[in-house]
Amino acid sequence: MKHMKHLTAAAALVMASTAQASITNGSFEEGLTGWTVDAGTGSVSVSTTTAYSGAASVALTGSDASISQVFDAIEVDAITELSLYGMSEGVDFPGVVDAVLLSYADGSTDLTSIVGLGDEGWTQYDLRSSLTAGKALIGITIYGTSDQTNYLDAVTVSTSPVPEPGSLALTAVGLLGLGLLLKRRHH
């Protein structure tokens, strides 16, 4: 029985892996590296005076300022976190809306509005409910849609690892063989 506990623990370690992060520089600690910037008629800059975590955030000002990032396709069903932190500078004006555009491998998109971005300081926005099941996410675009400055930080896309069937089968056969070997040695 003692050997089975060790086998179970070994199997868990073999099958486990850390969550995969898909966003490059989501905390903006490396400036805007990894992001495509479109300031439009507004501005996009890195703020080192206001940040949710770390030392930097991104400041979007203007109705058409945006940042975006494209990454390898991620099956929506594997996404465990899709979120960002946001905060508005000054008083929130009625109708202030920021938007997040999610892009999929099949060419379709989902647009999500965030009304009153972080009126009370840094606020986390969980965007998983905006995802379309059965699709593969390949990009995110975040728009500032007001004249005030809005800060964004900790943009995160995380997934749970999904083992391939071949890996599972190989692990199962190896553990079965190891179990039989230990049983044989025990008798």
* 107 found inside a domain: yes
Per-residue pLDDT at 21: 55
Per-residue pLDDT at 19: 45
Helices 165-186 and 2-15, packing angle to 10 deg: 160
Give CA–CA dist 82/20, Å, rounded.
Answer: 12
State the number of CA atoms in the 13 A half-sphere of 169 facing the CB: 3
Q: Domain span at residue 147?
A: 17-162
Task: Find the CATH number of the domain harbouring 28.
Answer: 2.60.120.260
- Which span out of 15-24, 53-62, 158-167 was modeled with the highest average pLDDT? 53-62
* Percent with pLDDT over 90 in the chain: 48
Give CA–CA dist 139/15, Å, rounded.
Answer: 28
Average pLDDT rounded to a whole number, residues 120-132: 89
Judged by average pLDDT, the poorest of 2-16, 76-90, 109-123 is 2-16
Per-residue pLDDT at 15: 41
Per-residue pLDDT at 92: 52
What is the total count of domains within the chain?
1
State the number of CA atoms in the 13 A half-sphere of 66 facing the CB: 16
Q: How far is CA 55 from its chain centroid? A: 20
* Helix, strand, or coil (residue 132): coil
State the number of CA atoms in the 13 A half-sphere of 116 facing the CB: 4
Per-residue pLDDT at 176: 74
Q: Given pLDDT bands bounded at 50, 70 and 90, which one contains residue 8?
A: very low
* 9 found inside a domain: no
Per-residue pLDDT at 180: 73
Per-residue pLDDT at 73: 95
* 173 found inside a domain: no
Q: Is the pLDDT of residue 113 over 70?
A: yes
Please list, in sequence order, all residues whose beta carbon lies within 8 angstroms of the beta carbon of residue 95, skipping any fewer than 6 positions away: none
Return mean pLDDT, the chain: 80
Per-residue pLDDT reduced to its tens digit, 21-35: 589 999 999 999 999
Q: Is the pLDDT of residue 10 over 60?
A: no
- What is the reported pTM? 0.74
Average pLDDT rounded to a whole number, residues 152-174: 76
* 97 found inside a domain: yes
* 52 found inside a domain: yes
Could you tell me which of 128, 132, 96 has the C-alpha nearest to residue 114? 96
Give CA–CA dist 124/157, Å, rounded.
Answer: 13
Per-residue pLDDT at 144: 82
Per-residue pLDDT reduced to its tens digit, 29-77: 999 999 999 999 899 999 999 899 999 999 988 878 999 999 999 999 9
* 108 found inside a domain: yes
